[in-house]
Structure 1
Amino acid sequence: MKEFKFSPENKSILAQLRKMPIFDAMEPEQLAEVVKMGRIRRYDEGEVIIAEGEMDQMVFFLAQGSCTVQVEGLGVGVISKVGDVFGEMGMVDAEPRSATITAREQVICLAMDGSFLDQMKTVDDLASKGLFYRIFSEILAARVRDANARILKLEDELKDLSVQMPSI
């Protein structure tokens, strides 16, 4: 992993971040303040970004590339859209990481320590914190819906298998 301090003067990365739903509603001053607290990280193919079971509160905003998501060594998803957020659960609940995230190709992301919300100094820091927590809640709700759909599908497949299996 290579890490670079983010400079608010870097207009190309700032423009890329502006495309992310989590940042597009922020005023330019808010965005500049938030990203000043972050680091740009580059991961090479195969490099682990987050390791299951570790404790930290880093939150990542994908700017380029794609990642695999594994739980107990089993592939459960892919992170591939610019603006995808991962690692937010560690910030929300301060529990060990529930998955391993690995770069499928070169990945560039904005990495922020979860304490960045406590470090915000603007007049609108409460509004900014609320925005981040709302977005994190929306992300987690979407993941729960997806997990529920997967569970239902697996239950249906299991029922189909049990109907096809002769009794012994």
Structure 2
Amino acid sequence: MKQFSFDPHDAKVLARLKRMPVFDALDSAQLPKLLQLAKIRQYEDGETIINEGDTDQIVYFLISGSCSVNIDGVDVNAISKLGDVFGEMGMIDHKPRSATITAEQETLCLALDGSFLERMKGIDKLAAEALFYRIFSEMLAARIRDANREVLRLEDELKNLSIQRPME
């Protein structure tokens, strides 16, 4: 992994970040402040970004590339869209990582260590926490909707398989 401080003069990366829906809630003054706290991380194909069971508070925003999500040795998802967020659960609940995330090609991420919230005080801390929890709530709601659709699809598939199975 290569890590760089965010360069506010890097027009290409900045333009991609501004297109991320997750940053829509930030005004023009908040985004640069947040980016000062973040790092740009570049991963090579096959490189592990997050290890299942590790503990940290880093949340990642995909800038380019793609990643696989693996739980207990089983591939369960892919991360491939600009602005896809992963690692947020560690920032929310401080529990061990629930999945391994691996770069599937050269991948560029914005990495933000959520522990900065613990160093903030007063109204700034409350505002930052409210903003992140809003962002994460919207994202998790979308994931729950997707999971519900997948459960329904699998239930239909199971029902169809049981109908097709000959009676014994």
TM-score by length of 2: 0.88
Contact 1:33-1:120 within 8 A present in 2 as well: no
Task: Give the structure 2 partner of residue 84 of structure 1.
Answer: 84
Local SS of the residue matching 2:29? helix
1:46-57 equivalences in 2 (<5 Å): 46-57=46-57
Q: Aligned pair in 2 of structure 1 residues 52, 2: CA closer, same or farther (>3 Å)?
A: same
- Which stretches in structure 1 are left out of the alignment for 5+ residues? none
What's the CA shift for 1:125?
A: 4.8
Q: Does 1:96 align with 2:96?
A: yes
1:147-166 equivalences in 2 (<5 Å): 147-166=147-166
What's the CA shift for 1:122?
A: 9.6
Percent of aligned pairs with the same residue? Answer: 57
Task: Give the structure 1 partner of residue 143 of structure 2.
Answer: 143
- Which stretches in structure 2 are left out of the alignment for 5+ residues? none
What's the CA shift for 1:33?
A: 1.5
Deviation readout 1:82-129 (Å, 9 max, x if unpaired): 111111011112222122211111111110111133345796553333
Relative to structure 2, which stretch is displaced further, 92-101 or 124-133? Answer: 124-133
What's the CA shift for 1:15?
A: 2.8
Q: Aligned pair in 2 of structure 1 residues 141, 73: CA closer, same or farther (>3 Å)?
A: same
Contact 1:3-1:40 within 8 A present in 2 as well: yes
Q: Aligned pair in 2 of structure 1 residues 125, 20: CA closer, same or farther (>3 Å)?
A: farther
Q: Aligned pair in 2 of structure 1 residues 8, 124: CA closer, same or farther (>3 Å)?
A: farther
Provide the rounded CA distance (Å) in 1 between the counterparts of 2:121 and 2:14. Answer: 20
Provide the rounded CA distance (Å) in 2 between the counterparts of 1:42 and 1:14. Answer: 15
Task: Give the structure 1 partner of residue 112 of structure 2.
Answer: 112
Local SS of the residue matching 1:112? strand
Task: Give the structure 2 partner of residue 35 of structure 1.
Answer: 35
Contact 1:22-1:132 within 8 A present in 2 as well: no
TM-score by length of 1: 0.88
Contact 1:63-1:110 within 8 A present in 2 as well: yes
What's the CA shift for 1:39?
A: 1.0
1:10-29 equivalences in 2 (<5 Å): 10-29=10-29
What's the CA shift for 1:140?
A: 0.9
Contact 1:43-1:108 within 8 A present in 2 as well: yes
What's the CA shift for 1:45?
A: 0.7
Q: Aligned pair in 2 of structure 1 residues 127, 11: CA closer, same or farther (>3 Å)?
A: farther
Local SS of the residue matching 1:91? helix
Provide the rounded CA distance (Å) in 2 between the counterparts of 1:120 and 1:72. Answer: 36
State the one-letter code of the partner of 1:90.
G
Task: Give the structure 2 partner of residue 3 of structure 1.
Answer: 3
